[in-house]
Structure 1
Amino acid sequence: MMNRYSTYTLKKHIPLMTALSLLPGLAYIGLAWLHGIVMPALGWYGLMLLVSLWGWFLYKGYKPEQMNTADLKSWYTRLMVFFYIIFALWSLIFILYANETESKMHYIAIFTQLGAAVVASAILIADKRLFLPVLAILMLPLVVYFSLIGEWYGYVLAIFSMILWGVLFYASDNSYQMLQKNYYQAQHDALTGLFNRRYFVDYMDQLIKRVHYSNKFAYILLIDLDYFKTINDTLGHEIGDKVLIEVASRIKEFCGSNHVISRLGGDEFTIVSEEFEYREHCREISYTFAQKLLQRLKEPYLIDRHHLYLSASIGVNGIGRTSSEARHFIKEADIAMYEAKAQGRDGIIVFNEALAKRVEYHLELERKLYFALEHNEIDLRYQPQMNQDRQLVGCEVLVRWKNDKFGFIPPSEFIGIAEKTGLIIELGQYIIEEAFKTLKRWEEQGIVLEQFSVNLSVRQFFHVDFLGQVEALVEKYLTEDTRKKVIFEVTETIMIEDMYKIIAIMNKLRRIGIAFSMDDFGTGYSSLSSLRQMPIEELKIDRSFVNHINKYESDRLMISTILAMAKIFNLTTVAEGVESEEQFKFLKSKGCEVFQGFYFSKALEQKAFETFYLNNREQHHFEIGE
């Protein structure tokens, strides 16, 4: 079987074989001239020169970056013919001089024939299709020659020649098997038998050079199995490995021989297509191909009596003249694949310029975010929370980022980046400290609130220093009374973590006076059992339900259900995103206790919140006085 290793190795041996033919050939001519039998040697040497010249053109013509698979196969066929002919010429010179006993040239012929056989067994080991017939071309004339001597020693030499032939073949075959094994292990994934990352990147480099030269196009698919970690965690890695083997088998069966398939590691696979003449045709084929492949991968798996159902997220990217680096195309396919995951998994995204700009924007945000705290760009806002009598009872602390280049950047854009990069730990600590400073200042100014809510991220919650940091900040800024007003809001995504660990951390913070609220309730992972287990005091109804109170009966029923559940578990309820009188009245009629949203006020700066507090208190006192 032809592979790039054997092609490249044998190509390097062309100059060596040419030198080993032409230089000893000159000695042949000299010896033949001394004995007056130079004409056969000159004719032979002329043929050798022609073949060597052809070999040099073959050597210079090997340009893998310009050769497609068909071109490479054609070139390799010519290379094999070159080696066949050049070693056949050595057998020819042996035949020409084997009977020159008077001049003793037959000894030279025998020796050079043996030498050629040894050379062949050494330099042709990269391909069994070469050294096997070439050894026959070289050794068979020797066996026949010795057999025709007609003396006993001739038969002995014939037998010894056959033994040597076998030894040379055995040595070459062993070396060939070892080389092939090492090549296979270096270029293939041990579990699935697919090509590995090393081969894939090397192949991509060659393909990119080739399509740049030919002005053709290809595509790459980056495939990542959805929730594969769950299989490993629940059924064990042995089952997980068998799933990967079955996935690899399905991909190989589906792709056939026209694609290069590799496993990058874990549950990530890549497919690189053949080359196409037109970009649009390549794009259409790639998406259709990905759709059909996704359907094949989603068919049920039966692994050790386990019926499993998998989906995948696939990123597709075209390979053309836009870049000369493999990592560029791989990165773009990776971006498309993660976009597919972000959009709910089990899908296909084709990389495009709009996606590229969005990713570049997020990368720029990420770079800027690293210096946001240092440049004092992070600021806090406080959104008022009202009771059923429209009296201000608390606030939620919200974070804002104002950058010189991008202006105000919403939390929906930068909080996710902070989570991904780990900056949320430093940012979260800053928010808590600044919030506690504000609460302390307000208490000193006589601004008395019943509750003061601060959002926590899941990553921040489980950070090793989180408890110690909160305890230190509470001790530094809050009194026994004010700390009891603090509510940490956690989202329902926290439920996917270790429940016992969650409860343990919450209980430690509750012992120093801090309460907990379940934010965005109804959109994630919560259940009745988790509500019963978790030490929370408050439920926040997600704004997505509140927004559609007047539109969908299902949302009104959902809110009524949440409020009823909260009453059963003796939890305070807060509705966020209240933007109209109708929404407020409906929520109030169903027993909701606390409200926040633009209907009452947007999130305010510290001074503006203080003014809002004073105005609300005056208004409330005025209404009572009336």
Structure 2
Amino acid sequence: MSDNQIRTLGIVAVQHELAMAIGLDLNLERMLQIFMRTCVRRLGLRSIQILFDRSGDDPTIVDGVISIDERIRRISLPRMDRKAPSLALMKSLAYQVEASAVIHQTVGDRHYTAYRMPKVGCAIVERVNNVLDGNVARSLIPVFERLALSCLACIEHQRALNEVAARKQAEAMVVHQSSYDSLTDLPNRLTLYRWLRKSLAAAIRHERYGAVFFIDLDRFKYVNDSFGHGIGDSLLVAFSQRLQDIARAEDTLARVGGDEFILVVNDLGHDATVAESSARVIAERISEIGKTPTNVDGLSIHVSTSVGITLFPRLEETGDLDTQCEALIRHADTAMYHAKEAGRDRYVFFSMDMLNALNRRLQIERELRQALSREEFMLLYQPLVSLHGDIVGAEALLRWNNRTLGFVSPAEFIPVAEEAGLIVGIGMWVIQRACAVVKRVYAPSGASTFRYLSVNVSPRQVWQTNFVEQVAECVRHAGISPSALRLEITESAALDNIDDTIRKIQRLNKVGIGFALDDFGTGYSSLSHLHRLPVSALKIDRSFVTGISRHPENQVIADATIAMATHLQLECIVEGVETQDDVDYFKDRPIHAMQGYFFAKPMSEEAFFELLARGRALSQPRLQA
């Protein structure tokens, strides 16, 4: 065999071994490490470097890749850092080899051969003292072209894996977002129901009690309005973390609304009394969270809680597990609202009486929605009597006679109408009807001493953006003097949104419509805000008036209120006058009118006009309707 044949066989052997080193492995790092080690051994190299271009668009290639510049990344054997003295030379060769399949360059005793790797970059091999044989160098061109194809296959494979991983991550995120609250990362309502179902099934199976706690932050809207929604969100996160400190690993804590959380506590024992006692301890711990200020972005915020509690399983509950779970949440929610109505910052256990009250409330709301169209509302009128016995005005009082429920107390149906958003329409009907009555009062031969008819307005009416325009239009349409209509608003309602209330009262004052502050003395900051409210009268609440001669403490309050009204040049009207003793107490004081059963009960429109026609003196017994 000739020397040429032997050299040819040697070149073929090198080609074959390097090609086999490339293999079919789709792990780029593993494939390159095997290939580079084989190159160093078979070609007698000092080093080999593979420079990747366009890799900024590729997935992570291998560990140990070094970015040379924005375009080129390098992997080498042995590993070199960015400070290697050949860095500039490597970059130069990388750019030169783009125009040729292979190039050579010698620097001192170092000999470099660069191979183009199509669509990947280039490979640069380094030998010391002797250059790579030209025939061998040329024979390796197809080897590095194949290496380029393998690199591309590995990169595409990794990209596909990354896309699959990203899709799975996105799917997992969608599943998580559908099951957990995005702000607090607590389970949401959907997940809560699923876990509550398991808890209820286990409680029934093992005959052990659990409890559902419906937790609501008191006056959270005030925090949002005062400090912004960012602070409100931070408060919710901090509060949820403190609730998690209370919950055990086997319990479930979920956020089910803006400021509403539900805690499901399992395994409170076999005995209902013991379970209730344990639930009270947990409720006390929840309440303690509200008593401790929460620091949010440098602010110390106090926020109390209203908590409704129901134990499970309940013997009276029937139906499948889903139905029972819904009932448990509804019961705890009902108990929570009872806690709020009782003054907030407390916990209340659910009872069936609450459910009956809830059903009654729902029935009232259902019937209220048809009450206006069925003409079921009516107005009764109670006179306002001066110290001289003249009827100087009256208060229009709303009553409801439902075909199913019969007469329903205003104390019962008005809160329902407000909560259901029905009070605005009902309230405008009252004002329209009152204006029509005023027009009749001032008709020829009408009452000469009568000055105004007063109407109670709900804060939800006042908060309507077009409230002023609607009232003014009612007065204009009826053709009455604006001063003949007086609107009454409770002290607590006026203070709830005081700036907006003041603006609207001022606008109606300019029209000529006056305002009276009703139930004065029952609010929480009477003296500090009274001077800001542009009202023309205040009414002393009946709780300070009835039986005043027997209650010295009420006498002090009433006298102080009268003195304050006099100082502020406001009319003072006394409600709840029921006996001669009540009359005698106020008759020598600077008040403008009295109202109460001593003079007349609320009466129908016709009875009221009959009363106006005949009149009575203050010293006479009660006027009969």
TM-score normalized by structure 1? 0.67
In structure 2, the CA distance between the partners of 1:555 and 1:423, relative to structure 1 (3 Å rule), is: same
Instruction: Work out the CA distance in 2 between the residues paired with 1:300 and 1:507.
Output: 39
Question: Is the partner of 2:515 in helix, strand or coil?
Answer: strand
> 2:185: which partner in 1?
193
| Pair 1:521–1:217, CA change in 2 (3 A) | same
Structure 2 match to 1:558: 557
Aligned counterpart, 1:235:
227
- How far apart are the structure 2 equivalents of 1:269 and 1:191? 13
Amino acid at match of 1:469: Q
Give the aligned partner of residue 393 of structure 1. Answer: 392
CA contact (8 A) 1:575 1:596 kept: yes
1:316 partnered with 2:309:
yes
Candidates 259, 264, 276, aligned match of 1:272: 264
Q: Distance in 2 between matches of 1:374 and 1:304?
A: 52
Secondary structure at 1:229's aligned position in 2? helix
Q: Which residue is 2:299 aligned to? A: 306
CA offset at residue 460 of structure 1? 1.1
Cα distance in 1 between the residues matched to 2:354 and 2:210: 20
For residues 617 and 592 of structure 2, the distance between their equivalents in structure 1, rounded to whole angstroms, comes to 22
Q: Distance in 2 between matches of 1:189 and 1:473?
A: 48
Question: In 2, Cα distance between the equivalents of 1:216 and 1:585?
Answer: 65
CA pair 438-271 structure 1, distance change in 2 beyond 3 A: same
CA distance in 2, matches of 1:447, 1:173: 86
Q: Does 1:583 align with 2:576?
A: no
In 1: Cα distance, 2:279 partner to 2:190 partner? 24
Matches of 2:186 and 2:485 in 1, distance apart? Answer: 55
- Taking the aligned partners of 2:477 and 2:223, their CA distance within structure 1 comes to 46
Displacement of 1:245 in angstroms is 2.3
What is the Cα deviation at residue 303 of structure 1? 3.1
Aligned counterparts of 1:404 and 1:569: Cα–Cα separation in 2: 47
- Paired AA for residue 494 in structure 2: M
Evaluate the alpha carbon distance shift between residue 617 and residue 414 of structure 1 in structure 2; reply closer, same or farther with a 3 A threshold. same
Match of 2:487 in 1: 488
| Corresponding residue for residue 383 of structure 2 | 384
Q: Which amino acid aligns with 1:479?
A: I
Q: CA deviation at 1:259?
A: 1.2
| Other structure's SS at 1:447 match | coil
Cα shift at 1:366: 1.0
Aligned to 1:281: 274
Any residues of structure 2 matched to 1:194-273 within 5 Å, and which? 194-273=186-265
Contact 1:495–1:525 (Cα < 8 Å) also in 2: no
For 1:209 and 1:295, the matched residues in 2 are separated by: 31
1:474 alignment partner in structure 2: 475
* Structure 1 residue 485 displacement after superposition: 2.0
Partner of 1:352: 351
The amino acid that maps onto 2:446 is G
Identical residues among aligned pairs (%): 31
Judged with a 3 Å threshold, the aligned counterparts in structure 2 of structure 1 residues 212 and 571 are, in CA distance, closer, same or farther, namely same
Name the structure with the higher helix share.
Answer: 1
Structure 1 residue 318 displacement after superposition: 2.1
Q: Deviations over 1:140-197 (max 9, x none)?
A: xxxxxxxxxxxxxxxxxxxxxxx9xxx9xx9999998777655544433233232222
Indicate whether 1:433 and 2:432 are aligned: yes
Paired residue secondary structure (1:430): helix
Change (3 A) 1:181 1:512: closer
- Look up the SS of the partner of 2:256 in the other structure: strand
Give 1:209 deviation, angstroms: 4.1
* Matching residue of 1:335: 334
Aligned counterparts of 2:280 and 2:270: Cα–Cα separation in 1: 17
Contact 2:290–2:302, Cα closer than 8 Å, also in 1: no
User: Cα–Cα, structure 1 residues 490 and 241, in superposed 2: closer, same or farther, change >3 Å?
Assistant: same
* Aligned 8 A contact 1:287 1:350 in 2: no
- 1:148-163 equivalent positions in 2, closer than 5 A: none
Structure 2 CA distance for partners of 1:425 and 1:234, relative to 1, 3 Å: closer
Give the match's secondary structure for 1:547.
coil
Cα offset for 1:586? Answer: 1.8
Q: How far apart are the structure 2 equivalents of 1:233 and 1:319?
A: 37
Amino acid of the structure 2 residue aligned with 1:327: E
After superposition, give the CA deviation of every residue in 1:80-128 in whole Å (9 maximum; x if it has no partner).
xxxxxxxxxxxxxxxxxxxxxxxxxxxxxxxxxxxxxxxxxxxxxxxxx
Matching residue of 2:447? 447
**Which stretch of the first structure deviates more once superposed, 611-620 or 390-399?**
611-620
* Structure 1 match to 2:17: none
Deviates most, 432-441 or 523-532? 523-532
Whether 1:534 and 2:533 are equivalent positions in the alignment is yes
Query: Following TM superposition, by how much is the alpha carbon of 1:378 offset from its aligned partner in structure 2, in angstroms?
Result: 0.8
Task: Indicate the residue corresponding to 1:415 in structure 2.
Answer: 414
> Contact between 1:250 and 1:297, CA under 8 Å: does it hold in 2?
no
Give 1:415 shift: 0.8
Note the C-alpha offset of 1:451.
2.1
| 1:464–1:588 CA distance, 2 compared to 1 (3 A) | same
Contact 2:438/2:452 (<8 A) preserved: no
Deviations 1:564-587 (A, max 9, x none): 111111111101111122222222
State the 1:347 CA deviation. 0.6
CA deviation after TM superposition for structure 1 residue 495, in Å: 3.1
- Pick which of 200-209 and 367-376 moved more: 200-209
1:606 aligns with 2:617: no
Asked if 2 retains the 8 angstrom alpha-carbon contact of 1:456 and 1:490, the reply is yes
CA distance in structure 1 between the partners assigned to 2:169 and 2:502 by the alignment: 59
> For residue 182 of structure 2, what is the amino acid of its counterpart?
A
Structure 2 residue runs without a partner (length 5+): 1-153, 621-625
The answer to whether the 8 Å contact 1:458/1:493 transfers is no
Residues 375, 184 of structure 1: alpha-carbon distance in 2 compared, 3 angstrom cutoff: closer
What are the residue-to-residue correspondences of 1:56-71 with 2, within 5 Å?
none
Distance across 2 between alignment mates of 1:299 and 1:491: 33
CA gap of 1:590–1:249, structure 2 versus 1, over 3 A, is: same
Contact 1:578–1:598 (Cα < 8 Å) also in 2? yes
CA distance in 2, matches of 1:412, 1:619: 29
Structure-2 change in CA distance of 1:551 and 1:189 (3 Å): farther
Q: Distance in 1 between matches of 2:560 and 2:255?
A: 48
Is the CA contact (8 Å cut-off) linking 1:336 and 1:350 kept in structure 2?
A: yes
Q: Which amino acid in 2 is paired with 1:478?
A: G
Aligned residue for 2:574, secondary structure, equals: strand
Q: Secondary structure at the match of 1:440?
A: helix
Distance 1:566 1:308, change over 3 A: same
Change in 2 beyond 3 A, CA 1:402/1:225: same
CA RMSD of aligned residues (A): 2.8
